[in-house]
Amino acid sequence: MAKLREWLDERLQTREIKHALLDRKIPKGVGWLYTLGSVSLFIFTAQIVTGILLAMNYVPSPEHAYLSVKHVTDQIPMGSVMRGIHKWGASAMVIFVTLHMLRVYFMGAYKYPRELTWIVGVLIWLIVLGFGFTGYLLPWDQKGFWATVVGANIAEQAPYLGPWIAKLMRGGDQLGAVTLTRFYAIHVLILPASLGLLVAIHLFMVIRQGISAPPEREPRRPG
């Protein structure tokens, strides 16, 4: 193992990578609130794994979508567990990413020199919301169908671009096969690729700039 580590280090400088990732100094006062980003990353990884397994058994058509989801839940070994992790993990990811952003905001970690890290984080949050919206329709049940109808109608009320956005979402004037296929493609192709890229950029910035120190309390003045 020692020779293998030396061989890899000569070619990939693995010691420098380890030092950059694991041997960073932690500012004084960092506590459990600073783990919200890591928790979000762990949930994202679990969503990728369970999403791939679900996609292998899902059929994105109005005739078979609901039945394929029911097949996963009732027939495939551990299918209900896999779907449950993915379903509740989606909600957990929205919660933890939102809490992470609130922690960054209230501790002032979005200020100089981390403005770009904050902007990328906001984009990540928006994509996570997009995951929730597009994934809600995929089981093609009554709840997901009518929730998407409401969402498209809300988007349609936006000035100027609203009708165009709603038509783009639906793939026409009404929800149907095109809508389901479009949401599925966005959910499993566009959003994961976008989120993966933004997460990589976000992690690079955090590693490059280091963890922000908690704000210091000003001492009380007598009188």
Domain range spanning residue 38?
32-209
For residues 185 and 194, what is the distance between their CA atoms, to the nearest angstrom?
13
124 versus 214: which is more confidently predicted? 124
Return the CATH number at 96: 1.20.810.10
In a domain, 14, yes or no: no
In a domain, 4, yes or no: no
For residue 50, pLDDT over 80 is answered with yes
In a domain, 184, yes or no: yes
Whether the CB-CB separation of 41 and 199 falls below 8 Å is answered with yes
Closest CA to 204 of 196, 215, 213: 196
For residue 223, pLDDT over 60 is answered with no
**Average pLDDT value for residue range 82-98:** 97
Q: What is the mean pLDDT of the chain?
A: 92
What total of structural domains would you count in the chain? 1
Q: Is 219 helix (H, G, I), strand (E, B) or coil?
A: coil
Token pair of 164 as six digits: 């165009």
Taking only the tens place, the pLDDT of each residue in 9-41 is 899 888 888 877 777 778 887 888 999 999 999
For residues 117 and 203, what is the distance between their CA atoms, to the nearest angstrom?
9
**Average pLDDT value for residue range 198-223:** 82
In a domain, 106, yes or no: yes
**Average pLDDT value for residue range 84-92:** 96
Identify the pLDDT of residue 19. Answer: 79
Identify the pLDDT of residue 31. Answer: 86
In a domain, 218, yes or no: no
In a domain, 163, yes or no: yes
**Average pLDDT value for residue range 58-79:** 95
Alpha helices in 33-176 (DSSP H): 36-55, 65-74, 79-106, 115-137, 142-156, 162-170
Q: Which of 22-31, 52-61, 83-92, 146-155 has the lowest mean pLDDT?
A: 22-31
For residues 68 and 126, what is the distance between their CA atoms, to the nearest angstrom?
29
In a domain, 12, yes or no: no
Identify the pLDDT of residue 219. Answer: 60
Identify the pLDDT of residue 208. Answer: 87
Q: Which of 4-18, 104-118, 185-199 has the lowest mean pLDDT?
A: 4-18
Taking only the tens place, the pLDDT of each residue in 122-148 is 999 999 999 999 999 999 999 999 999
In a domain, 16, yes or no: no
